[in-house]
């Protein structure tokens, strides 16, 4: 299920989204002439980019709110429970030294200790002593078990991704860390979107050709940015301005222009150019078709990149811990987290009771009865 995105999870989402993100330049029709097909396409792309920018900001804001609330209500509780589970595992092992257990009974105790430790390790990184305890009761060492679990997680994730999208994700990205995994997911989603409607799902010669086209398109966009920057510098450089007030204004514009150029921000360069056209060449209300075609090509690529960024947020390692809450409708998220936090507090209280019980139990049958109760928790 695709995560539900609703503004104002815990507060109203600001209405000035466009103002905060920066409005894309648009071509306005003159009083006696309608827009041409190219001009309409340019404006449609401008609106699409503005919309995608707003959706990305909104989505990240909502997810960040959920993560922050989860951290406040549940993260610390998870750590507390992990510590109690580890302490309980040590307490159980200590008690086994005072009882003569049969092989089946010892196996049951071992399963209980390992279950407690596995659950604890999922919540919090284990200390060396806890790792050694795990190794004593497991058939393999902690490090070997960790590698096995990582392999299972990787396989499960890639299988799910393959079932959902019909393509494989680079498994090496898992070992390289969260950033590499995020980039791999983003790249794969981009490939999926590019192949939609074409019946192509696997990497092939066509995919390599596509990547080459993307590389060439990126080079073209850089050239478009550079070309536009040079043309604007020629008309906006303050050294040629005699008026003091206008000179200050151009100096400010040049600073903004340079920042936009260094960032490859075609949107801002277009806005600066449009402002210059409206201010200095008021009679020229329309951009030439040749320039429009170049801009449309570059903006189409940028819109594609924004779409990839939007969908990649769902697979960001940053939000993996709260994945189960992202598909819920906004009004239920906070309620669900509160409920889970309450359950975790009850578990913590139960752990305290069990620790007390193991500290005073002196009979083997009573000890095994507590183990059975713990397994049925």
Task: Tell me, yes or no, whether 86 lies in a domain.
Answer: no
Q: Which pLDDT score is estimated for 207?
A: 47
Task: Tell me, yes or no, whether 308 lies in a domain.
Answer: yes
3-class state of residue 333 by DSSP: helix
Q: Which pLDDT score is estimated for 89?
A: 94
Q: Which pLDDT score is estimated for 8?
A: 43
Task: Tell me, yes or no, whether 131 lies in a domain.
Answer: no
Task: Tell me, yes or no, whether 268 lies in a domain.
Answer: yes
Contact 96, 88 (CB under 8 A): no
Q: Which pLDDT score is estimated for 137?
A: 92
What is the number of domains present in the chain? 1
Task: Tell me, yes or no, whether 24 lies in a domain.
Answer: no
pLDDT tens string, the chain, 377 residues long: the values are 444 444 444 443 333 333 334 455 566 665 546 778 888 888 888 889 889 989 999 999 999 999 999 999 888 888 899 999 999 999 999 999 888 889 999 999 999 999 999 888 888 888 999 999 999 998 888 888 778 877 777 777 777 766 766 666 666 655 555 555 556 665 666 665 555 544 444 344 444 444 544 554 455 455 567 767 776 777 677 886 778 887 888 888 889 988 988 888 877 887 887 776 556 444 334 456 776 776 677 778 778 878 888 888 887 778 888 888 988 887 899 999 999 999 989 988 988 998 998 888 889 999 999 898 887 66
3-class state of residue 120 by DSSP: helix
- Half-sphere exposure of residue 332, counting CA atoms within 13 Å on the CB side? 8
Question: Cα 330 from chain centroid?
Answer: 18
Task: Tell me, yes or no, whether 92 lies in a domain.
Answer: no
* Burial degree of 221 (CB within 10 A; 0-12, 13-18, 19+): buried
Task: Tell me, yes or no, whether 256 lies in a domain.
Answer: yes
Output Rg (C-alpha) for the chain, integer angstroms: 30
Structural domain range at position 257: 214-313
Q: Which pLDDT score is estimated for 340?
A: 92
Task: Tell me, yes or no, whether 338 lies in a domain.
Answer: no
Q: Which pLDDT score is estimated for 319?
A: 85
């Amino acid at each position: 299920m695709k995560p539900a995105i609703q503004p104002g999870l815990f507060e109203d989402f600001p209405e000035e989204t466009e103002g905060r993100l920066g409005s894309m330049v648009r071509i306005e029709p003159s009083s006696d002439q309608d827009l041409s097909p190219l001009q309409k396409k340019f404006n449609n792309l401008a609106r699409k980019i503005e919309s995608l920018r707003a959706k990305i900001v909104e989505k990240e804001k909502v997810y960040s709110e959920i993560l922050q609330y989860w951290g406040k209500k549940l993260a610390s509780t998870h750590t507390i429970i992990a510590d109690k589970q580890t302490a309980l595992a040590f307490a159980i092992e200590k008690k086994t030294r005072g009882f003569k257990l049969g092989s089946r009974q010892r196996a049951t105790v071992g399963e209980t200790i390992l279950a407690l430790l596995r659950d604890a390790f999922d919540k919090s990184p284990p200390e060396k002593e806890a790792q050694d305890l795990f190794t004593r009761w497991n058939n393999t060492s902690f490090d070997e078990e960790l590698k096995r679990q990582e392999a299972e997680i990787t396989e499960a994730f890639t299988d799910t991704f393959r079932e959902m999208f019909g393509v494989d994700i680079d498994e090496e990205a898992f070992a390289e860390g969260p950033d590499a995994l995020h980039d791999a997911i983003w790249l794969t989603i981009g490939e999926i979107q590019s192949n939609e409607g074409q019946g192509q799902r696997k990497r092939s010669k066509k995919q390599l050709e596509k990547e080459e086209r993307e590389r060439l398109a990126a080079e073209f966009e850089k050239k478009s940015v550079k070309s536009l920057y040079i043309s604007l510098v020629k008309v906006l450089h303050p050294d040629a301005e005699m008026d003091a007030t206008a000179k200050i204004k151009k100096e400010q514009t040049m600073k903004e222009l340079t920042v936009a150029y260094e960032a490859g921000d075609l949107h801002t360069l277009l806005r600066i150019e449009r402002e210059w056209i409206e201010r200095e060449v008021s009679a020229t209300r329309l951009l030439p078709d040749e320039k429009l075609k170049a801009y449309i090509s570059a903006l189409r690529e940028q819109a594609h990149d924004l779409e990839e960024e939007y969908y990649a947020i769902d697979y960001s390692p940053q939000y993996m811990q709260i994945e189960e809450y992202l598909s819920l409708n906004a009004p239920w998220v906070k309620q669900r987290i509160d409920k889970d936090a309450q359950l975790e507090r009850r578990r913590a209280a139960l752990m305290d009771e069990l620790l007390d019980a193991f500290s005073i139990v002196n009979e083997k049958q009573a000890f095994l009865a507590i183990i059975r109760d713990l397994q049925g928790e």
